[in-house]
Amino acid sequence: MEKTIKSIILAAGKGTRMKSQTPKVLHKIFNKELLAYVIDALNNTGKAEENYIIVGHCADQVEDFVKKTYQNAHCRLQSPQKGTGHAALQAYDDLKGFCGEVIILNGDIPLLTTETLNKFIEEHRKNNNALTVMSAILDDPSNYGRIVRADNGDLKAIVEEKDATDEQKKIKEINTGVYLLDWEKVHEAFLHLDSNNAQQEYYLTDIVKWTIDNGLKARSYVLENNEESFGINSRKQLAEAAKILQNRVNNKLMEEGVTIVDPETTYISPDTEIDSDTIVYPCTYIEGKNKIGKDCKIGPFARLRGGVEIGNSVKIGNFVEIKKTKIKDHTNVCHLSYVGDSELGSNVNIGAGTITANYNHITKEKFKTVIDDNASTGSNSVIVAPAHIGENASIGAGSVISKDIEANALGLTRAPLKILKGWFDRMKK
């Protein structure tokens, strides 16, 4: 029977170098929090039963996010903050009597994938390890703890840079700070942590030493792609991680049959699905979770803000913004339009400059617009939600629509045209 996995995610740090009032783990890439990338990677393995998030700096903000977003995640406060070992210890009482596996990792590593986590778990189980450390091979391992192996390949020690000999400093395999434990065998290590060091903190690496000293099997698992261990500590690193994700997502989509005209200027969230033969034009930004069908044309200069479902053969024109909207097959949303909180049927034509006015700034409420099959809106029209535009209905150019328009009807609001002859000559005088 497969063991159950629970996780401890370290998210208590301030992130001083971010120079921000926002906790480091709540900074975003593609409008998704760093912490969310880590929790999703764990949950998508299908093996994570519960996740314990260790919070500290701006704990209320992090806890509020976790409660709103995840049912299987619980926050535990670390106060004061006395090292990584002390942080993980905050979930110790929750794990009393637990007989499965515990994975410990940081909340600021958004590039770690579900595929890698599954391989990590598989390797741990295949070798019947008590503890497995995720490691990476770096050309320049400076400032990282080195992985020292025994002759049989087992983990012998993790030696920090300041304690390493000249020979050990030549080792290029480093500790990434991700651990997988057989909790029943290793949990006692947390009761033997001490702060007998210069920083007077409790370190997670001490559980590795305890495991080895007690004759239990400890090994390292080497990452296939070093980028996955990349942690975020500054705005520069946040941008670097976004660029790595951009390339990763674009390359994957192009391999699956999506045309991305200029990958350098196209940003697509890893939570977005796009079917083959769709073309994404330059300077398009797609964030959040979206689904785009086949044979679509997106952009240039388009923005999808999440919660967007697009059918087949749909055109999203240049300078169009869409969010929380479902669009059926063969519909066009033309340039300079905004469509939010809406449902568009098939063969709908949204004229240039159309706005769905979905937000009441006084009540903070958002309302829905529904446009049925074969309907159309003229250029520079505004639909004030909630509104329902019926099948085959048309909206005249320049109209402001504040009521439902029945099927087959024309909705038109337009002041009578006045022509003042000779106006130019009179103004010139």
Positions annotated as catalytic residues are 335
By three-state DSSP, how is residue 359 classified? strand
Q: Which residues lie closer than 8 Å to 418 by C-beta, 6 or more apart?
A: none
Strand partners, 370: 343, 388
Single-letter code of the amino acid located at 264: E
Nearest residue to 325 (alpha-carbon basis) of 361, 352, 283, 354: 354
The alpha-carbon radius of gyration of the chain (Å, integer) is 28
- Bridge-based pairing state of the strands 394-395 and 131-137: unpaired
Question: Angle 59-69/34-43 helices, nearest 10 degrees?
Answer: 40
Q: 220 near 132, Cβ under 8 Å?
A: yes
Q: Terminus-to-terminus CA distance in the chain, angstroms?
A: 94
Single-letter code of the amino acid located at 13: G
In angstroms, rounded to a whole number, what is the distance separating the alpha carbons of residues 110 and 58? 20
By three-state DSSP, how is residue 10 classified? strand
Q: Is the dihedral of CA 21, 25, 30, 36 positive or negative?
A: negative
Count CB-CB contacts under 10 A for residue 239.
12
Q: Which residue has the tokens 């909206």?
A: 395
Q: 405 near 372, Cβ under 8 Å?
A: no
Tell me how far CA of residue 180 lies from CA of 8, 110, 123, 134, 353, in angstroms: 10, 18, 10, 8, 54
How buried is 341 (Cβ within 10 angstroms: 0-12 exposed, 13-18 middle, 19+ buried)?
Answer: middle
Nearest residue to 164 (alpha-carbon basis) of 144, 139, 134, 193: 144
